[in-house]
Each structure stands twice: as structure tokens, then as C-alpha cells.
Structure 1
Amino acid sequence: MDIGSALLLSTWLVAALLAVSRGAEWGWLSSRVLTLALLAVGCGVWWWRHGSVSRSPLIDTALLRMPAVAAANVVALLIGAAMYALLAVLPPYVQTAAASGYGLGASVTRCGLLLLPMAVTTFGAGLVMAPLASRFGDRAAVAFGGLVSALGLLVLSLWIGSVEAIVVASFLTGFGSGLAYAALASMVVQAVPAAQTAVVAAVNANPECSAEPSARLWLRASFPRGRRLRRGRPSRHIGSRS
């Protein structure tokens, strides 16, 4: 086992995730965040070069350069970031008292029930992925899942004040992300030699784990702390200046 490669991989992953998840709290230009960023970049480059020349690398970097594997990792990160962004925004919004000018004033239990369709359809999508992929192919299943997730987010953005729209968005987003993730796993496994399937499957899980801090980073950039909104309601265009 290549212990050096394992140490380098774990170091740059932990440093990068810690910098992204704590950047808003510590300050993006603080010494801690900049040190973690430099550590992540340095160890990441070292790990990549080490894996390229090692006779028995922990992860063969040639596999990561394969178009199917690289595309699957990028898609997994994007779909995961969209799903976690929804999970980060929707519960606080639903539980906000209606007297504040927005929100539904729902209890924690009701909020959980509104998100229940996402959990159910994410599980169910994995069951229907195989017949869909066998007929139309893994790539088509990934694209269809991404479109369904995007449709769910569109419904939520247009009718966020409606309980019915929240349920529909939860249903569509859960089904789309579940279908896409299941198809992505099948796609990367079929793209590599049989002896490397466990490695690429594990690597493909990393973008999914990185999606949550990436979503938090995007949300914190879109909704700066301390910004006052007109009439107590979220502005329609967060990035615009009034």
C-alpha cells in the first residue's frame, strides 16, 4: 500500500474542505484559510505527481484523466451542490414565521414532511435507473436526472410561497438527483477496467461529499451576512444593487 499517497490525499482533501466550510467564519483572507488553501494546493499537486510516477499508486491518476471519469466527477459535484443548496435554504425558509414578511411558519415536523418526498424519490430513483439506463444508456439517464432536478429548482424559485410547489420541488429534485447519482456510478464503473472499479467508485464519492461545503460557499456569497432586505422580504435578485 502506498502510505505516502494516502497521507497526501487525505491532507489536501481535509485542508480544502476545512478552508471552504470555515472560510466565511474565519475570513477568506485570514491566515488560517490562506494557509489551508496553500496546503491543499501544494499537497494536491504533490499527490498527483506522486501518483503519476509511483509503481503502485493508491489511485491511478491516469484513470482520473479519462473523459468519462472526469465528467462524472464534475457532474456529481454540480448536482450535489444544487441538492444541498436546496436543503440548506428550504428548512429555514419554511420555518420562518409568516409575520416576518416571508416564510410559512411551519413546525419542524411539518418541514420534515415537506422534504419527505425528496428522501423517498431519491431511493426510488435508484430502483428505476437500471431499466432506464439499459434502454437509453447511462449518459441519457444522467442528463434526464439533471433536467428533472433543474425543473424542481425552477418550480421552487417561481412558487416558493406555495406548499404544493415545495412538495413538487422536493419530489422532482430528489428523483432527479437520485437518478443522476445512480447512473453516474454505473457510468464510471463501466468506463474502467474491472480491477479499478472500486477505486473510481470511491473517487466519485468525493465530489458528492464536497458538494455540501461547495453549496454553503455559494450560499454565503449570494446571501451576505448582515444585509438588510427591503420590506423584510428576500430580494428577487440577490446580486443586484439597489
Structure 2
Amino acid sequence: MNFALILFLLTLATGVLWALDRWVASKRRPEGAPAPWWVEYGASFFPVILAVFVLRSFVVEPFKIPSGSMIPTLLVGDFILVDKFSYGIRLPLVNHVIIPVGEPRRGDVMVFRYPVDPSVDYIKRVVGLPGDYVEYLDKKLRINGVPVRYEPLPDYFHADRLYYSTRWREYLGERPHEILVDDIAPPFVTQRLEFPHADRCEYNRRGVRCSVPPGHYFVMGDNRDGSSDSRVWGFVPEENIVGRAFFIWLNFSDLSRIGRIQ
């Protein structure tokens, strides 16, 4: 379901009713006569729907985390807010930047339209910027030939499946974040899809090396062995970007989760 399109159509329909009632229908009705119910309700809803449309399109948008690919940063059931203007003011629906503001930074948690199916939104961490050379070999990152720094942390316990993952603090962007690695999982990509610019990636038994093309980003989940990401389906085009995830505003199972996203 394309909620943005539905919201746009509702805004358009109620706006037309509001305009017709204000400048046409109200002048033709006898003084004191009530407006038809469908005009009254449609016109009265217009300011509310317009406000929601503007806020959701240009300021902030809510999302719910459906999978565990970003554990331990984001858990299934987290409700998050996505900043819609940090990466540029975009036209609704077409997602074209009309006012450049900023660009994704390495380490950002980014929401984007899944390149394989743009009707689906995905969330991952930005690892490689346009022009970067990204290597993920033996479950360690190198960016432009420089190894990313890691610090060991206590193992992470998955309560839903009763097993442990190795946990690391990774220094990728301006602020460190935590990642998980399953030691028994192979370092190589077990299966991958065909994707644009696939010739820029080299796969071997140790992992993958990719040269990020202009206007694209290489993203990965923090749950490294439980994430389908750029290693599998390729790069994220700039036009697919939705925004930067920055805040967890609710989790019904654990209210202590509320706070900023690292």
C-alpha cells in the first residue's frame, strides 16, 4: 500500500471540497442554510490532512521496525522517527530533491526504498559513500584501504531464539555503534541477486569488495550475519533515499528503548 499516494489524494480531494465550499457553494446557499454533510466533513478534514501531509512529506515520518537486521541498534517492534530534511527537501511521491540540504554520512542509519521493490521501505546503516572502496572480508570492514576500528563487547543474547552473538563496538562514523557477528556463519555471501553496477563488486570466500558508483550508497545491517543488504542486492541510488532514522519513540514491549538512535 502506497500510503504517501493515498495521503496525497485525500489532501487533494478534501482541498478541492474546501475551496469549492469557501468560494463557490457557500455563496450560492441561502443565508443560514447548512452545507451538505459530505461538503462539511470534507472541508473540515482538509486542514488536518494537509498538516499531516506536510509534516510527513517534509519534516518527519514514523516507521515500525519489522525485522532483526539492525539488532542491537533497532529491535523488532521499535517505532522510529525519520528526519525527512537532513538529506534535502524532496518532492512527495517522485522523491526528487528540490532544496539540497545535506547528504548521508558514513555511519548514518538510513531509510530508503528497497532497490529491488521501491514500494517497500528498508532501513540499514550507511557504510560506503559515492566513490568509496568498501571491503568486508573475514567479517571486518575496510573503507578506502583503511581498517575500521573495533572493540570487543560482551556477547549479545537473543532471547527469542536462545543463542548468543559476538558483539563489537564499531567506529565507522562520527559516533560508534554496536554490531553483531555470528561466528559460525560463513564470511562469504551465500547468495546474491543481479543488480545494477554488479561489475563493481568482487566476491570470494572471504567476503566482498565493492567500488561504490557515483550517486549510490553501500549499506549494511548491524546484525551482520542476519541482514540482506548491499552485499546481496547492490547499491542504494540517491533517488531512493527517504531520510535519516534518529529517534525511537515507542516500543510496547520495552519502554526503556525510547531515545535517540546511535
TM-score band, normalised by the shorter chain?
Answer: under 0.3
More strand per residue? 2
* Superposition TM-score, scaled by structure 2 size: 0.23
Higher CA-based Rg: 2
Name the TM-score, length of structure 1 as normaliser. Answer: 0.24
Structure richer in helix, relative to its length: 1
